Amino acid sequence: MSRPLLQLALDHTSLQAAQRDVALLADHVDIVEAGTILCLTEGLQAVRALREQCPDKIIVADWKVADAGETLAEQAFGAGANWMTIICAAPLATVAKGHDVAQRCGGEIQMELFGNWTLDDARAWYRTGVRQAIYHRGRDAQASGQQWGEADLAKMKALSDIGLQLSVTGGITPADLPLFKQINVKAFIAGRALAGAENPPQVAQAFHSQIRDIWGE
Amino acid sequence: MSRPLLQLALDHTSLQAAQRDVALLADHVDIVEAGTILCLTEGLQAVRALREQCPDKIIVADWKVADAGETLAEQAFGAGANWMTIICAAPLATVAKGHDVAQRCGGEIQMELFGNWTLDDARAWYRTGVRQAIYHRGRDAQASGQQWGEADLAKMKALSDIGLQLSVTGGITPADLPLFKQINVKAFIAGRALAGAENPPQVAQAFHSQIRDIWGE
């Protein structure tokens, strides 16, 4: 199991504000995510600008694609994204088409898990070639009080066992990390916990230090 | 049951190309949709530009929102959208928050049906106040040969019975319309069937004429 990465999620409504946070944090994270809100307000320019600002980072287009997998993957990877998200509710044909384009472009697809998905779906995604999924408490679910619990961890373990690497998100702080010790975590995704902190690089360091303590150097 | 409307879906990757089709078709449709592809490439500017180009039409932001319902609804309705789509996989909290903002702005939420949703979900959406859903064969599902069938029509009927008005999409042509006679159809959504036609206004007229024949003047 490799050491989890740290991903900065940018859910700003303005590219300028997002890029200010990137300037502060790019040296302290492994992955920079053009969040859905940012992409819907700023368009493809958000992905392009982040690629330019962070030539050496993994860039994620968090588009939660539900359809038109080929066209959208061409747009995302063409603009410089390394990974693109597809929503679990998407038809399998969309996943397969997105994955085909990803492979051709040297990119990867991440399945975004929301609502009613099943382990059979996860096995089908794996069979198309997809190797990543994102597990989260949504912002709204989180705000309405939903906590990380045994049920979440059991589902994550089952997804790991299928062969999917998981990125984990939803109000995660460094103190939460030991919860995920048994899981094949690709990345921890933090947005406001990082960018909204008084000293963002310090919080990033706290994440890395916890990750090293739990998963080793 | 009121007469179904006709919706032009704009799934272009460039706003300029989309606006050319709008110029041809705006007088012949009731609703203009800023499609997901267009919104992810051009950002909020797509919604703003269509509102400006079509001051009297219903404008849909087809964002398939999965999270952050409040922020995204504020963005969509603030930019001039009348309706915003939420993906069925979204947590109920997201639907409720999106609907609250919609009500405050005089807008409406449409639930986008993809993958694993249930009639219990539909009842829950109805209870939050949502009154519209979009039923479709996805582009990719359609391309892989999935047809309209009895199972689709039975599900649409069940959704109608719950009280949801349905917009129907996925490679629909005027010849398909009689299939949906028993359904509470809010709108028929056509993209390439309209904009890609040799004579787009003529195809729009064929839709309207079929709608009048089936649902009355």
Strands (DSSP E) along B47-131, which ranges? 58-65, 83-87, 108-113
10-49 of A, contacting B, C-beta below 8 A: 11, 13, 36-37, 39-46
Decide if pLDDT at B139 tops 90.
Answer: no
Among A12, A97, A136, A186, the one annotated catalytic: A136
Annotation marks residue A213 as catalytic: no
Q: B118-136: buried (b, 16+ CB within 10 Å) or exposed (e) per residue? A: eeebbeebbebebebbbbb
Distance from CA of A216 to the nearest CA of B (A): 34
Decide if pLDDT at B104 tops 70.
Answer: yes
- pLDDT (0 to 100) of residue A96: 97
CATH assignment of the domain containing B147: 3.20.20.70
Extract the tokens encoding A84. Answer: 């693109």
- Under 8 Å between Cβ of B59 and B47: yes
Q: Which chain A residues are closer than 8 Å to B63 by Cβ?
A: 40
A114 vs A95, more confident: A95
* Helix ranges restricted to H, B62-108: 69-78, 92-105
pLDDT digits (tens, 9 = 90+) for A152-178: 889 999 999 999 999 999 889 999 999
- pLDDT (0 to 100) of residue B152: 86
- In chain A, whose CA is at the least distance from the CA of B69? A140
Q: What torsion do the CA atoms of B6, B125, B50, A85 make, to the nearest 10 degrees?
A: -110
- Under 8 Å between Cβ of A105 and A75: no
Decide if pLDDT at A47 tops 70.
Answer: yes
- pLDDT (0 to 100) of residue A217: 75
Q: Give the domain range for residue A86.
A: 5-215
Extract the tokens encoding A32. Answer: 């920079």
- In chain A, whose CA is at the least distance from the CA of B117? A116
137-176 of B, contacting A, C-beta below 8 A: 138-141, 143-144
Decide if pLDDT at A141 tops 80.
Answer: no
| Residue B214 CB-density burial (10 A; 0-12 exposed, 13-18 middle, 19+ buried) | middle
Lowest-confidence segment of A55-59, A170-174, A202-206, B32-36 by average pLDDT: A170-174
pLDDT digits (tens, 9 = 90+) for B153-188: 899 999 999 999 999 998 899 999 998 998 989 999
Among A12, A48, A57, A64, the one annotated catalytic: A64
Active site residues of B: 36-37, 64, 67-68, 72, 112, 136, 139
Rounded mean pLDDT of A12-33? 97
Decide if pLDDT at B2 tops 90.
Answer: no
pLDDT digits (tens, 9 = 90+) for B37-63: 999 999 999 999 999 999 999 999 999
Name the nearest CA neighbour of A83 among A120, A123, A33.
A33
Judge whether A75 is closer than 8 Å to chain B, CB to CB. yes
Q: Does the distance separating the beta carbons of B117 and A117 come in below 8 Å?
A: no
Total structural domains within chain A: 1
Which residue type is seen at B55?
P
Q: Which helix (H) or strand (E) holds A214?
A: helix A200-215
- pLDDT (0 to 100) of residue B1: 64
Name the nearest CA neighbour of A156 among A186, A127, A130.
A186
Partner residues linked to A83 by β-bridges: A60, A108
**Mean pLDDT value across chain A:** 94
Summary count for chain A: helices (H), strands (E):
10, 8
- pLDDT (0 to 100) of residue A36: 98
Decide if pLDDT at B142 tops 90.
Answer: no
Rounded mean pLDDT of A87-108? 96
Decide if pLDDT at A147 tops 90.
Answer: no
- Under 8 Å between Cβ of A156 and A180: yes
What is the ipTM score, two decimals?
A: 0.94
Q: How far apart are alpha carbons A77 and A89 in whole angstroms? A: 21
- pLDDT (0 to 100) of residue B38: 98
pLDDT digits (tens, 9 = 90+) for A174-214: 999 998 998 989 999 999 999 999 999 999 999 999 999 99
Q: Does the distance separating the beta carbons of A42 and B40 come in below 8 Å?
A: no
Q: Render A91-119 in DSSP notation, one character per residue.
A: -HHHHHHHHHHHHHHT-EEEEEE-SS--H
Q: Does the distance separating the beta carbons of A11 and B93 come in below 8 Å?
A: no
Decide if pLDDT at B140 tops 70.
Answer: no
